[in-house]
């Protein structure tokens, strides 16, 4: 055990920090998912790395015929299905090994809020979450990186104490306008006083 003031890092950094190809991919993911910094991306990659490492170990133990490995495999597949990373049905260990970082990023609260249309952009979703405008069921959630389960996804809504519950709120109006697409252009500007 360690001193609680000195928490351990929950992610791994890249071994080679200055690879142009990897850096370009990271920038694209940061922009698409509205992530604050690369640390959040590295955390998602570490979560995925943990799932895949566990799946590789279980695959080897299954080939050896261990009964405990079969129970642990069912537990891992059930957890990933409840989390919404794997599709409901008959997932296999190979499905876990074929997961990508984007599959984990799709389960973050900020991305789900944006894709449900509760925020105008992914970065806007992050701001609404941090400021306490969104809740899951009866609980206000202020962590944009929270991994939402498939059951909780339907319960995401504006917090009861938030001003965003009003349909006339400027943010809600901006979201509706964005969803409807570009509005019709205003009459051409012919100059002042000309009709």
Residues 6+ positions from 57 with CB-CB distance below 8 Å:
none
Domain range annotation of the chain: 20-100, 109-180
Q: Please compute the mean of the pLDDT values over residues 164-176 and round it to a whole number.
A: 90
**Two tokens, residue 41:** 């991306």
- 184 pLDDT higher than 60: no
pLDDT at 81: 96
pLDDT in tens, 10-36: 899 999 989 999 999 999 999 999 999
Question: 98 versus 187: which is more confidently predicted?
Answer: 98
Look at residues 145, 186, 148 and name the one whose alpha carbon lies nearest to residue 45.
145
Q: Which CATH class is domain 109-180?
A: alpha beta
Mean pLDDT, range 28-55, rounded to an integer: 96
Name the residue among 58, 49, 61 with its Cα closest to residue 78.
58
């Amino acid at each position: 055990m360690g001193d609680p003031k000195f928490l351990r890092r929950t992610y791994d950094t890249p071994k080679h920090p200055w690879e142009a190809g990897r850096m370009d991919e990271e920038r694209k993911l940061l922009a698409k998912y509205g992530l604050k910094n690369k640390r959040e991306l590295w955390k998602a990659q570490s979560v995925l790395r943990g799932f895949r490492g566990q799946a590789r170990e279980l695959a080897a133990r299954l080939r050896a015929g261990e009964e405990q490995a079969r129970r642990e495999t069912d537990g891992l597949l059930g957890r990933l299905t409840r989390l919404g990373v794997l599709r409901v049905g008959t997932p296999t260990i190979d499905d876990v090994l074929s997961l990508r970082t984007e599959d984990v990023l799709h389960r973050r609260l900020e991305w789900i809020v944006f894709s449900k249309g509760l925020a105008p952009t992914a970065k806007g979703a992050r701001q609404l979450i941090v400021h306490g405008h969104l809740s899951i069921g009866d609980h206000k959630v202020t962590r944009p990186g929270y991994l939402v389960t498939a059951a909780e996804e339907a319960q995401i809504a504006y917090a009861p104490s938030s001003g965003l519950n009003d349909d006339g709120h400027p943010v809600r109006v901006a979201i509706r306008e964005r969803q409807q697409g570009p509005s019709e252009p205003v009459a051409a500007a012919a100059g002042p006083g000309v009709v």
